[in-house]
Amino acid sequence: MRIILLSGGSGKRLWPLSNDYRSKQFIKVMNNDKSEEVNQTSMIQRVWAHLNEIDLANSAVITASRVQQEIIQSQLGDDVPLVLEPVKRDTFPAICLAASYLKSKMKVHDDEVIVVMPVDVDADEQFFETIKQLAVEFEKSTANIGLIGLKPTYPSEKFGYILTEPSSNSHSTLLAIDRFVEKPSAADASNLIDSGALWNCGVFSFRLGYILQILETGSWPTHYEELLAQFHLMPAISFDYQVVEKEENIVVKPYQGRWNDLGTWNDWTDIMQNRLNGRGILSEDSENTHVINELQIPVVVMGISNAVIVASPDGVLVADKEKSPKLKDLVESISARPMYEETLYGWYRVIDVDNNPNNNQVVTKRVHIWPGKNISYQIHEHRDEIWTLISGIAEVVINEKRFQVGAGDVIHIESGTKHAIKAIDGVDLIEVQIGKSVSEDDITRYQYDWEESIQGKGSKLG
């Protein structure tokens, strides 16, 4: 058994915390299942922890967009196996790319059972055991695709429904599928539930050779490097529409337990154990109101009930919980750059963006570098940088010369200057970027050997 974890998705359903760089699976507002601590874990971290507990993490790969690479490695570690999509498409091309990776890079056999699941769900241990059971039962079946169907808890209009046929096999819990109904009205959903319909929770199982055959039939390469080169030409379509709904030999394993899609703030607040997350005060008469505050200033809420209030460097949301599903449409026009990002070395938060009298753009950031981590050896052609260390001790490299700095030190880096910094212990600094145009794309990276005791050697990365 192999697992493909889908870490696609971006957007603004959970604005102002979610954006094109930080999708909902990376937001750290969830309690750890194994700890009393709060606000310390994300959905992808919890899914990965569950897979570790049942010894499946070493059988998993994660498919994700390139812009998600650093935040995934930041939250799960540098060694997590990633299949990076060069451009944003949909679940069908993403699954095909991961399948070709398993075949070409990991030498997985065509008969191996593959289970695909999203990382942006909240589920309990029983759900992950059910995935394991699905693979075992599917391997013994003659079906081409297997799904997990969740027993509905209410007549939702946002899920797809699966109608099943009676089982003729007393040795298997897998049921044949009669038909799918996509996002029905509340009234129709209620009737479907009465008929025994299940929610489609986006888990697929198949044999590796099945997907490779689909690629060959569509005249797509099955070798990973070749498919990667043509990935931008693949259809932007979901696996459900392209494969599942066209397949006749398909089964579903029913599941009844905790599983939440968490697609809206209303969904998220339903599972939060604490109504106040971050600095702030929530008055007693603010009933059924949740506050999530990422800022360093307090948020005070008085006499506002049934609301969700979210404050982050990207913006502030005050919304009636029942209206939160419509948030994406309302904020779709907001296109400002993300003001917070997790990286391989730590994180940064944009404090201010302004233009000075000399017509230069000025971007000010608060940067945190974890102990032992470093910002890469690099050059910027169109901006200067000024680093002011707030706390910690670090080594800095400027044009091959290395020296140690600490709190209170200020380093001025002119454009065209090679520079890097490595934290000896945790480092916080203020970075001021000044130039005619300040862009994250204005960067050329070089290799640097930090292990050399006095002076490393830099060479340009291709």
* DSSP per position, 105-144: TS---TT-EEEEEESS-EE-HHHHHHHHHHHHHHHHS--S
pLDDT band at 437 (very low <50, low <70, confident <90, very high): confident
Q: Is the dihedral of CA 67, 73, 78, 81 positive or negative?
A: negative
Could you give the percent of the chain with pLDDT greater than 70?
Answer: 93
Given phi > 0 = left and psi -120 to 50 = alpha, else beta, which region is 416? left
Q: Give the integer Cα–Cα distance in Å for 135 and 115.
A: 7
Calculate mean pLDDT across residues 324-339: 82
What is the token pair recorded at 342? 């997790």
Q: Give the integer Cα–Cα distance in Å for 6 and 44.
A: 10
Q: Are 167 and 185 in contact (CB under 8 A)?
A: no
The more confidently predicted of residues 386 and 278 is 386
- pLDDT given for residue 39 in this prediction: 46
- pLDDT given for residue 460 in this prediction: 53
Q: Are 49 and 350 in contact (CB under 8 A)?
A: no
- pLDDT given for residue 35 in this prediction: 42
Q: Are 324 and 332 in contact (CB under 8 A)?
A: no
Tens of pLDDT along 86-130? 988 899 999 999 999 999 999 999 999 999 999 888 888 889 999
Calculate mean pLDDT across residues 367-377: 94
Burial class (CB in 10 A: 0-12, 13-18, 19+), 168: exposed
Q: Give the integer Cα–Cα distance in Å for 91 and 63.
A: 10
DSSP-derived 3-state class of residue 98? helix
The full set of domain ranges for the chain reads: 2-260, 275-331, 345-460
Tens of pLDDT along 195-232? 888 988 889 999 999 999 999 999 999 999 999 999 99
- pLDDT given for residue 340 in this prediction: 87
Could you give the percent of the chain with pLDDT greater than 90?
Answer: 52
Q: Which residues share a beta bridge with 429?
A: 367, 389
Indicate whether 453 pLDDT > 80.
no
Q: Give the integer Cα–Cα distance in Å for 458 and 448.
A: 5
Q: Tell me the pLDDT of the chain averaged across its residues.
A: 88
Calculate mean pLDDT across residues 320-333: 87
- Domain 2-260 = CATH 3.90.550.10: yes
Interstrand relation of 393-398 and 374-379 (parallel, antiparallel or unpaired): unpaired
pLDDT band at 404 (very low <50, low <70, confident <90, very high): very high
Please give the sequence-ordered ranges of beta strands (E in DSSP) within 313-453, or none if there are none.
315-320, 340-342, 346-355, 361-369, 374-379, 383-391, 393-398, 401-406, 410-413, 419-423, 427-435, 444-448
First to last CA, the chain: 36
Residue 3 makes CB contacts below 8 A (sequence gap 6+) with 51, 56, 59, 60, 61, 114, 115, 116, 117, 131
- pLDDT given for residue 31 in this prediction: 55
Angle at CA of residue 316, ends 311 and 321, nearest 5°: 90
The more confidently predicted of residues 434 and 183 is 434
Q: Are 443 and 379 in contact (CB under 8 A)?
A: yes
Interstrand relation of 393-398 and 290-293 (parallel, antiparallel or unpaired): unpaired
- pLDDT given for residue 280 in this prediction: 94
pLDDT band at 11 (very low <50, low <70, confident <90, very high): low
Calculate mean pLDDT across residues 342-352: 90
Q: For 226-229, which contacts have Cβ atoms below 8 Å and span 24 or more sequence positions?
A: 227/96, 227/97, 227/100, 228/86, 228/97, 228/100
Q: How far is CA 122 from CA 41, 66, 98, 221, 270, in A?
A: 12, 24, 23, 35, 12
DSSP-derived 3-state class of residue 269? helix
Q: Give the integer Cα–Cα distance in Å for 359 and 199.
A: 56
What is the token pair recorded at 256? 């009844």
Indicate whether 34 pLDDT > 70.
no
Tens of pLDDT along 120-179? 888 888 899 999 999 999 999 999 999 999 898 888 877 888 888 876 666 678 888 888
Burial class (CB in 10 A: 0-12, 13-18, 19+), 99: buried
Indicate whether 261 pLDDT > 80.
no
- pLDDT given for residue 396 in this prediction: 96
According to the per-residue pLDDT averaged within each range, which of 174-183, 352-361, 396-405, 444-453 is highest? 396-405
Domain 2-260 matches domain 345-460 at the CATH topology level: no
CATH number of 345-460: 2.60.120.10
